[in-house]
Amino acid sequence: MLPIERGLEIVMSTATSKQRADWMPTESVPLLDSMHRILREDVFCDADSPPFDKAIRDGFAVRAEDVVSVPTTLAIIGESRAGAGADVVIGQGQCCEIMTGAPLPAGANAVVMVENTERVSPVSVRIRKTVREDEGLLRRGAEARVGDQILHSGRPIALADLGLLAGTGKEKVTVSRKPRVAVIATGDELVEVHETPQAGQIRNSNTYTVCAQVTEAGGEPVLLGIARDNLDDLREKIKRGLEHDLLLVSGGVSMGKYDLVETVFAEFGVEILFDKIAMKPGKPTVFGHRGNTYVFGLPGNPISTMVAFHMFVRPLILFLLKAEDTSPRILEAKLEAPVKCDPERAALLPALVRFESGGYRIRTAPWKGSSDLVGLARANALIMIPSREGTLEAGESVQFLLME
Ligand code: AMP
Ligand code: MG
């Protein structure tokens, strides 16, 4: 059986080896819609930042050399406020009232905070504290110079980036188009969320968790509903699914008599590259491709589906988006109680992780197996137990996936 890393390598090398660079085309979106999307242009400063020497305190613009010995009284010769500078030149013994964000008047080289001053009259102020040159202000271009590259293609647009894009005048932003990801649930036992399950039935939950994972990864989910466990229904839905950038089918990939998904994939000419991974849960994960469509059969148990998505589908979606970092987000923690390893398969177990004295501490959470969403909902992480003999002892380092 393939270890997880080898499976991931196969997925990524398949995407990399396509004849064309197999990335999503770009599109231009309004600034606000660009949040969390993958940037596909390099962004340069259109002006120095800040564009002028600017006060970062409310107070008085002074010549530092005039306030070397304090207290001292200076003559106020003007006011500079944000949006309207003062047309004055500060000479010896003079100062200018100034507000945060306002341009520093000529001649001044520091700003004394208002808290360290005392107004003596409308035209004079007593300075009670010395300032160093450049204190209380930011020089023009201190953050970045015109023409400097401030963001690069491949970056997921985060909050500060959005602010930068706004600051550089980008009303429209070039990002990767979202891959369209068809999602099919399979199973004769499934009913929809609004329905009441009869004997032997359960509600379809995978469609919703998979769609949420697709959205989080940056894809656009397309719901194709529930396919029943018969060839006709599977053929009809899978045929439609194959018209998308990715097709995700949950359930129907184990060894049961009615697990027909892989058969139908093969009928449609999907080249299957693996159908078993040495991981628990998630063993019967299937991966293949046909033309430019990538195809996954995700094991039906809700937690298996989530884990397989996280390990294989999310990195592929990020690759298609041309994101700079496609790897699963794995963190490290110290184990609080021993965990037995499985020599056959790496295990992912629901766990409770917390941050304490400078590091993460983790322990497994009680659960009843790969269908137990109740147990999973009480956990906040999936701990990764490597496949090997023996036991991982308390105090050892382990890897985990944070479940946000
Ligand atoms: P399968 O992979 O089809 O053998 O399904 C494994 C287990 O997952 C079975 O107990 C199914 O009932 C359950 N299951 C399959 N699909 C879903 C789904 N869409 N929502 C919730 N549970 C599911
Ligand atoms: Mg099934």
Whole-number Å distance between alpha carbons of 288 and 174: 30
**pTM, full prediction:** 0.94
Nearest ligand (C-alpha, residue 255): 1
Ligand 1 atom nearest to 226, measured from its CA? 19
Q: Could you tell me the distance, in angstroms and rounded to a whole number, from the CA of residue 146 to the centre of ligand 1?
A: 56
Block mean pLDDT (10 aa), the chain, length 404 = 96 84 88 98 97 98 98 98 97 98 98 98 98 98 97 97 97 98 98 98 98 98 98 98 98 95 98 97 97 96 96 96 92 97 96 96 95 95 96 97 86
Provide the pLDDT for residue 329: 85
Residue with tokens 């009869």: 198
Nearest-angstrom CA–CA distance, 227 and 189: 11
For residue 254 and ligand 1, the question of a CB distance below 6 A is answered with yes
Gap from CA of 252 to ligand 2 centroid (Å): 4
Contact 292, 21 (CB under 8 A): no
pLDDT of the residue at 94: 98
- Residues 295 and 272: their CA atoms lie apart, in Å, by 9
Among 206, 306, 374, which residue has the most ligand 1 atoms within 8 Å of its CB, making it the best to mutate?
A: 206
Say what the pLDDT of residue 17 is.
Answer: 86
- What does DSSP say about strands 397-402 and 391-392: parallel, antiparallel, or unpaired? unpaired
Expressed in angstroms and rounded, the spacing between residue 146 Cα and the centre of ligand 2 is 59
Q: Which atom of ligand 1 is nearest to the CA of 256?
A: 4
Owner of token pair 């009232």: 97
Ligand 1 centroid to 194 CA: how many Å? 18
Residue nearest to atom 16 of ligand 1 (CA): 300
Whether 250 is in the pocket of ligand 1, judged by its Cβ within 6 Å, is yes
pLDDT at position 23? 83
The backbone torsions φ and ψ at residue 37, rounded to the nearest 5 degrees and listed phi first, read -80, 170
Location of structure tokens 């509600």: 203
